[in-house]
Structure 1
């Protein structure tokens, strides 16, 4: 096996681990009607089965990056896959609601471990253009997982029930963990030692991550991206005629994945990752402004999500571009996980409130403001990085 093929194989394995992590969300979100039928007495709190995973990410995201820097991303990744697989197998035993909720809290820990450790490993085993292409591939894991769960997962639920669905997910997670362990993907870290879980460690991880304009920049931009991504995917198709709604809803994330694949590797050969991210936000503003000038909403939906693919691919690639050491990269991906979960939690309630008060025009104007704030934040952080390099 040549070195290049070995690295390619390892990157695909790590991406598959990401699909398993994203399915921890998708396995509840996609068959949500079936999940609701499983717990009819808890209809008012059933949404927590989905959102509590994000809540764990908000609280522990930065700390998970620090832990990856201490124990090593390979160990963290395998632990996360084993824990996630075990939880899915346990969930296949038809648990009561509150026990199921507790397993989702544990899955939140598993999810964080995977989404911090896997891209850290990818960034270390790849270089140059191969790294850019690998990070673009990694950036698609969430959208691809949701698509696969919609296309293959729902028929699986119809045939085997939720028990079989959870069982298959758990077995696949354990299988991927075993293969990654056998591949012995290792990264040498500059720091090692015991890992703390107290308040001081939690505070120190946040201070270290967000004080640095190098570590924090991808995460800050990612917050503005996730603040609108899921919320717009939920809101915009419903503002379209009924015969278009489902089709456009399917095309929106697909457009982002396709443009990310086609354009981001080319753009990264002539631009920095942060510049690609800012370009994506700027093009998003231009498309939203075109909506006020008469561009049909269906075209706005697809075009907007297409250019957001630049933000998606550029943000993940920005972490290794701005941070050389595995420890700093782990902190960067931990901060991205934290800010991404925060954006997912806040985005839909905020934009729904804007929709109720300002209608469609209010939502589009609010999103323009969010993207303008993202560009401003990136410019400010770029000035801080320049000042650090000159001092």
Structure 2
């Protein structure tokens, strides 16, 4: 897959839209959580599995999908993922029994992974060298954008049309995106046979022992380990009269992730993360102090969300910065998908447990731990970058 000397912005925005539609596979269930729970007569724990199943599939198969992308082709994989997602969303609109609805969520995990592995690789190829970091910053906002759109328009849509119409709309948008990809994205190059046949386990080991493919995913884990938890727990401590900040927090995080794309045009992602992780730790402490003092908490919460978004966007920018080859980028995207789902799975219950034990400092402690972990991982990456390769 060749890259362009100049940026093809229609392709970039189309692929970003594909990512938003993939993230809606999470956001639509989050939006309709209580309605679906009542409709099916299931427990919150059962609905929790319905919500998280897409992420569980990503956790188990993320790297495998990155390896598959190099074999089937990025455009083919993206078209397949969008088509599968559209069919599954259309089935969900038919008011399936619970067991069948749950099965569609398992398959949506494969659809989601196909999109989040193939689309950013194609986006990097569609962006010129001068805009590649901006494109990756834009891509890194796809989850926040999906949740922000649901928060802004979803409740009114559900009130007017109902949850099954929401699934039908999602199916229609996925079909349109699939047609757009078929029309605008160039066909995949001829596939070359793999000269070295290795086991899937060996390829996983290769990805996580090669620092250029492992580092973006490990840094992204440090972001997703706090992102969903911060959106969940930061609003709970907002003072009376400042609940407006709960709606502003996702947009602040998105501003941070997109801002990373612009900043990495002037600073390398490695250098930017050297500053971001200490700032994360300091802002986490500032949030806890402000909550204890009952003064300045809203500003501290918004700042923490912005810096965490900056960490996530910069982790995405590491992919094209460290991996110039499309196959390497696909492997790194697979690791990012896997580590991102691991962080999103472990983060909220970890924050909830620590908050229950330490209400005053429970929010700051996991943030500081993840920031220190990120700094440690980054130091390892810098040592690898400075180590000369011996042939």
Q: Give me the TM-score of the superposition, normalised by structure 1.
A: 0.92
Q: Is the counterpart of residue 281 in structure 1 residue 277 in structure 2?
A: yes
Equivalent residue, structure 2, for 1:12 = 13
Q: For residues 24-58 of structure 1, give each alpha carbon's deviation from its aligned partner in whole angstroms, at most 9, with x where no partner exists.
A: 00110012121112111444411111011110011
Q: How does 1:167-182 map to 2 (within 5 A)?
A: 167-182=168-183
SS of 1:362's equivalent?
coil
Task: Give the whole-Å Cα distance in 1 for the aligned partners of 2:156 and 2:273.
Answer: 37
Equivalent residue in structure 2 for 1:254, among 241, 251, 256: 251
Equivalent residue, structure 2, for 1:36 = 37
Equivalent residue, structure 2, for 1:218 = 216
- Alignment gaps of 5+ in structure 2: none
Contact 2:6-2:127 at 8 Å conserved across structures: no
SS of 2:389's equivalent?
helix
Pair 1:339–1:235, CA change in 2 (3 A) = same
Q: Is the counterpart of residue 378 in structure 1 residue 378 in structure 2?
A: yes
Q: How far is the alpha carbon of 1:189 from its aligned partner?
A: 7.6
Contact 1:217-1:378 at 8 Å conserved across structures: yes
- Alignment gaps of 5+ in structure 1: none
Q: How far is the alpha carbon of 1:324 from its aligned partner?
A: 1.1
Q: Is the counterpart of residue 332 in structure 1 residue 327 in structure 2?
A: no
Equivalent residue, structure 2, for 1:82 = 83
Contact 1:319-1:332 at 8 Å conserved across structures: yes
Equivalent residue, structure 1, for 2:99 = 98
Q: For residues 316-350 of structure 1, give each alpha carbon's deviation from its aligned partner in whole angstroms, at most 9, with x where no partner exists.
A: 12101100111110010010000000001000111
SS of 1:361's equivalent?
coil
Q: Is the counterpart of residue 24 in structure 1 residue 25 in structure 2?
A: yes
Equivalent residue, structure 2, for 1:48 = 49
Task: Give the whole-Å Cα distance in 2 for the aligned partners of 1:31 and 1:301.
Answer: 26
Size of the aligned set, in residue pairs, is 383
Q: For residues 147-169 of structure 1, give each alpha carbon's deviation from its aligned partner in whole angstroms, at most 9, with x where no partner exists.
A: 11222222222222111110110
Q: For residues 228-273 of structure 1, give each alpha carbon's deviation from its aligned partner in whole angstroms, at most 9, with x where no partner exists.
A: 110121112112235434x222212211222443x43442233211
Q: Greater CA deviation, 21-30 or 37-46?
A: 37-46
Pair 1:6–1:341, CA change in 2 (3 A) = same
Pair 1:386–1:104, CA change in 2 (3 A) = same
Q: How far is the alpha carbon of 1:128 from its aligned partner?
A: 2.0
Q: How does 1:109-258 map to 2 (within 5 A)?
A: 109-186=110-187, 188=189, 191-192=192-193, 201-245=199-243, 247-258=244-255
Q: Give me the TM-score of the superposition, normalised by structure 2.
A: 0.92
Q: How far is the alpha carbon of 1:183 from its aligned partner?
A: 1.6
SS of 1:121's equivalent?
helix
SS of 2:266's equivalent?
coil
Contact 1:278-1:311 at 8 Å conserved across structures: no
Q: How far is the alpha carbon of 1:187 from its aligned partner?
A: 5.1
Task: Give the whole-Å Cα distance in 1 for the aligned partners of 2:262 and 2:21.
Answer: 28
Contact 2:63-2:338 at 8 Å conserved across structures: yes
Contact 1:69-1:191 at 8 Å conserved across structures: no
Output the aligned Cα RMSD. 2.2
Q: Greater CA deviation, 35-44 or 206-215?
A: 35-44
Q: How does 1:285-304 map to 2 (within 5 A)?
A: 285-291=281-287, 294=290, 296-304=296-304
Between structures 1 and 2, the one with greater helix share: 1
